Amino acid sequence: MLECKSLGKIYHVDGNDVHALSDINITLPTGSFTVLVGPSGCGKTTLLRAFAGLIEPTTGSIHRDIPPCSVISPSLQIGYVFQEPRLMPWLTVSQNIGFGLKNKTSKQDLNRRVADVLSMMGLERFAQARPDQLSGGMASRVGLARALVGNPDLLLLDEPFAALDAMTRRRLQGELTTIWMARKPTVVFVTHDVEEAVLLGDVVYRMHAGLITERYDINIPRPRDPTTEKITAMRRLILQGFENEEQPSLINK
């Protein structure tokens, strides 16, 4: 389980205090699929980074209590998809994907895992390519493959499909759902696309100005079709929530 207690994060920018997160209290059960949805600058990425342990919260605390189920290492295996691909320019696509697993598992196992995610992402032909030879969409798929290759217990995704064309996005949303249903990692997915949030999540948290403003439970069976009445109704509900939101300033002088 992943638990935030009165979590807050303040950045000091040019003498001003920017409240990136204020008083976040949520509990994400192990094996759940949670989506954080909100406009740019609402604190989604900051919250995801706090979950990953990449930033220290200013106030409050985070408890990460997820039993590691992977065979690779006794510690918690985290997969993180950053907004940008963040590939090492000196490594090939295969080496980038296997980066975090190098020396942690046998060479055969590593090669097999890398080959599996390469084919899932449709990148087999580019296994030996270098990052500067890839298009933007391909690079972001490599970033996604790198996060998935270790079968993470905790999978954190920061707008992973934003750079992809609609067809690839739809296919990879399906793949992600399949992976989650098969292995039940704890997933936190950040997006500003409300439809994507409703298609993927068990629980959707609406965020605004560093606060969680609403929680939606999506009790729609999978696989989900974006054109069905239930999905569009839920989507409308969340969008209305955004429209009704006032626009408080992020900066408290």
Shortest Å distance, C-beta 20 to another protein: 17
CB of 245 to another protein, least distance (A): 31
Identity of the residue, 29 or 136, whose beta carbon is nearer to another protein in the bound complex: 136
Q: Nearest 5°: CA angle at 93, between 179 and 134?
A: 105
Distance CA 154, CA 219 (A): 22
Task: Give the nearest distance from C-beta 116 to another protein in angstroms.
Answer: 17
CB 19 within 8 A of CB 252: yes
The token pair that represents 57 in the structure block: 């919260």
Q: Which residues bind another protein (CB under 8 A)?
A: 52-54, 73, 75, 77-80, 82, 84, 86, 88-90, 99-100, 102, 122, 126, 129-130, 132-135, 137-138, 165, 167-168
- Residue 235's identity, in one-letter code, is R
82: left (phi over 0), alpha (psi -120 to 50) or beta: beta
Of the pair 36, 121, the CB lying nearest another protein is at 121
- Separation CA 41–CA 240 (nearest Å): 19
In angstroms, give the least distance from the CB of 51 to another protein.
11
State the nearest-atom distance from the C-beta of 48 to another protein, in Å. 11
Q: Cβ closer to another protein: 73 or 240?
A: 73
CA distance 113 to 209: 40
Which residues make Cβ contacts (< 8 Å) with residue 180, sequence separation at least 6?
33, 155, 187
Q: Is 159 exposed, middle or buried (0-12, 13-18, 19+ CB in 10 A)?
A: buried
- Nearest distance from residue 79's CB to another protein, in Å? 8
